[in-house]
Amino acid sequence: MECIHRDGIFQIILDIDQLADPFLDPYAYQYEIHFQNGTVWRTNDPYRFPIQLGEQDRFLFNSGRNYKLYNHLGAHPVTLHNISGIIFRVWAPNAQAVSVVGSFNSWDGRVNQMRSLGASGIWELFIPHLQENEIYKFSIKTQEGHILEKCDPFQFYGELRPKTASVVRSVNTFAWNDQQWQQTKKNTTPYDGPLSIYEIHPGSWQRDPNDPDRFLTYRELADSLIPYVKKLGFTHVELMPVMEHPLDESWGYQVTAPFSITSRYGTPEEFMYFVDACHQNDIGVILDWVPAHFPKDSHSLGQFDGTALYEHEDYRRGSHPEWGTYIYNYGRNEVSNYLIANALFWLDKYHIDGLRVDAVASMIYLDYARNDGEWLPNCYGGKENLEAIEFLRHLNSIVYDIYPDTLLIAEESTNFYGVSRATNQGGLGFGFKWNMGWMNDILHYFAKDPLYRKFHHNSLTFSIMYAFAENFILPLSHDEVVHGKKSLIDKMPGDEWQKFANLRLLLLTMWMHPGKKLLFMGSEFGQWSEWYCKRSLDWHLLKESAYHSQLQQFVAGLNTLYRAQPALWQLDFSPEGFRWLDLEDRNNSIISFARYGKDRANHLVGVFNYTPQSFSDYKVGLPDNCRYRKLFCSDNKMFGGSDAGEETVYKPIDSPYAQAPYHTTMSLPPLSGLILEPIRE
């Protein structure tokens, strides 16, 4: 080769007849590079390898339908022409030039410039001899001539914050052992089965006792968290976002690399180990997923190629005023494809069982958290974000088509119609929706002094009016125990005994109410302090007071009762699964109702006393003319209660009472709930 420019441009002119020889590979050449220090290095030229991404994959991406896009874009170890290396691809349609930079080329953007794949906007380059764990970024030259260094939007792993470079990592080598779990999922449906979720933040559930500033790794969490969840009887864990994010205080909800497991807690393989171990212990794994917005960190997606690529250009559509983040441009095919492929990625590569989609209300309303003049109406003059709604419908239909056993859960706080209804019925197509109305009402009610609860009786009963309008999950989540809202136990009125009695009563009310269940970590043993993401839960409380360990035992007992009783989950989303027995005794703050499964004979009766007053010979309606016995009581002494109620078998009186055809009389302990089951002779 001949040096034709002093800055290092070399060329060689080959005979055209030689290039046309079918028995020769004109691209099978190497460089022999002589450095000034005498070092000689022979290597393959990245530009001798032909383009690998086919036109069909490019077309599908630009059409928004390349759903396994993560197999193509990003950095992938491959072997071409018997030569191993890494093939890089990135979408930057408005860039003048794009290079791969890293320590392998001294972060010099002149060395490994990528090839443009034309109108697709994709750039590609195979760099031979690179291996896994290489650190890299994309150096992007904008139309204005500015140089941007960006992490890979499809990175599968990244450097530990505050560093921001991407790391080449395969996610295809883990040996899974969850075949039995996967088969069981195919043979069951979540709608008529038990679903009890334990929500955790991996960085603060527990930390290293010898080094409180050190996170537990995914493997360490598997060894400690899984036995704990299994002991408590939860069916699933829900992890707050484990995608890469720069700021701990965002709790993971400001994601800079949606395809990357956060390096805080370990490697992709270690997280796969965690998920696999959960499945082998019959515990499902749900991830919080954030397609609503992304942060403005310079290394991330914002202004990726010097233009508004992933976000809207107009700040009234593309910028979120409340969170200081960008909003995805859901109407752009490639962006929609990026997000749908990301959801499928976690289900495919990490065997995740469900996604809880964060902040859906912020996606579907253009005026969310905005004042007049700060938002643009849709083409019909309305406030609905039609592009986001179409994206969500597209997302849910594709996910259910490819992975029909997935739990797709919307955190949606408004009365938008049909969040968990099928798309062909005008719904958004989710499987479940968080019942934020119930959560607000029940916490408002329990925060009241019992003396005044009779004036707020509707807060206790109103949720049944709409309980079957959606497939609801009842959440007592992390959002309710931060920012001055107090922990669950500290929200409860009264002295210490009454606080714990109130919390047991709240949880029993929740477990008996129609809908699936979610409880945030720490609430199961009554942590006094609000949750803080940089500190372990207060596990020491379990040794300091019996109340905490008794509450923990109560939650385990609740889940045992729940799993064993089909009446508590078979007809969660049908009015046939619920019947009021008495909802009108507001003066005493007492309610009673029945829950039914598909076998109506094996129903349960719940009686709840929301005052610290004891009652004797209290009339309780019964749905059937048979004897009943006490099955469960929140006032049980083993749970820290008073054990005031002694009678355990109740005979029916053939006379209507309240909304029930029969009734009986019983003693009701203070601040307690009783569960009765029929005795079949």
Amino acid symbol at 544: E
Is the per-residue pLDDT at 138 higher than 90? yes
pLDDT for residue 644: 64
Q: Provide the pLDDT confidence category of residue 90 given band limits of 50, 70 and 90.
A: very high
Q: What is the CB neighbour count within 10 angstroms for residue 47?
A: 12
pLDDT for residue 77: 97
Q: Each residue of 315-326: pLDDT tens digit? A: 999 999 889 999
Strand partners, 32: 42
Is the per-residue pLDDT at 645 higher than 60? no
What's the 3-state SS for 495-527? CHHHHHHHHHHHHHHHHHCCCEEEEECCCCCCC
Once rounded to an integer, what is the mean pLDDT over residues 68-97? 96
Extract the tokens encoding 483: 């920012």
The pairing of beta strand 590-595 with beta strand 97-102: unpaired
- Sign of the dihedral through C-alpha 209, 213, 219, 221: positive
Query: Nearest to residue 605, comparing CAs of 634, 625, 581?
Result: 581
Q: Each residue of 15-51: pLDDT tens digit? A: 777 666 656 666 678 888 888 899 998 888 899 889 9
pLDDT for residue 36: 87
Task: List the catalytic residue out of 411, 412, 441, 635.
Answer: 411
Domains of the chain: 49-167 (2.60.40.10), 575-678 (2.60.40.1180)
d(CA 218, CA 202) in angstroms, rounded, equals 8
Q: Each residue of 482-493: pLDDT tens digit? A: 999 999 999 999
Q: Provide the pLDDT confidence category of residue 541 given band limits of 50, 70 and 90.
A: very high
Q: Provide the pLDDT confidence category of residue 61 given band limits of 50, 70 and 90.
A: very high
pLDDT for residue 35: 85
Mean pLDDT, the chain, as a whole number? Answer: 95
The pairing of beta strand 516-520 with beta strand 196-200: parallel
Is the per-residue pLDDT at 647 higher than 70? no
Asked if 69 and 61 touch (Cβ cutoff 8 Å), the reply is yes
pLDDT for residue 32: 87
Query: Nearest to residue 427, comparing CAs of 360, 343, 349?
Result: 360
Total H helices, total E strands in the chain: 15, 32
pLDDT for residue 17: 72
Extract the tokens encoding 76: 């992938």
Is the per-residue pLDDT at 593 higher than 60? yes
Query: Catalytic: 288?
Result: no
H or E stretch including 468? none
d(CA 341, CA 68) in angstroms, rounded, equals 6
Q: Provide the pLDDT confidence category of residue 346 given band limits of 50, 70 and 90.
A: very high
Is the per-residue pLDDT at 588 higher than 90? yes
Asked if 615 and 633 touch (Cβ cutoff 8 Å), the reply is no
Once rounded to an integer, what is the mean pLDDT over residues 77-92? 95
d(CA 306, CA 128) in angstroms, rounded, equals 29
Q: Each residue of 238-287: pLDDT tens digit? A: 999 999 999 999 999 999 999 999 999 999 999 999 999 999 999 999 99
Q: Each residue of 370-400: pLDDT tens digit? A: 998 899 999 999 999 999 999 999 999 999 9
pLDDT for residue 151: 97
User: Which residue carries 């999950």 as its tokens?
Assistant: 473
Instruction: Please tell me the number of Cα atoms within 13 Å of 208 on its side-chain side.
Output: 12
Q: What is the CB neighbour count within 10 angstroms for residue 242?
A: 24
Extract the tokens encoding 71: 């197999």
Once rounded to an integer, what is the mean pLDDT over residues 425-436? 96
Once rounded to an integer, what is the mean pLDDT over residues 132-153? 97
Query: Catalytic: 358?
Result: yes
Strand positions, DSSP E, 154-292 = 166-167, 196-200, 236-239, 243-244, 257-261, 284-289
Residue 667: burial class (beta carbons within 10 Å; 0-12, 13-18, 19+): middle
pLDDT for residue 25: 65
pLDDT for residue 1: 82
pTM of the model: 0.94
Once rounded to an integer, what is the mean pLDDT over residues 162-183? 96
pLDDT for residue 21: 63
pLDDT for residue 24: 61
What CA–CA distances, in Å, run from 330 to 87, 140, 346, 395, 518?
A: 28, 24, 20, 11, 29
Task: List the catalytic residue out of 199, 334, 358, 572.
Answer: 358
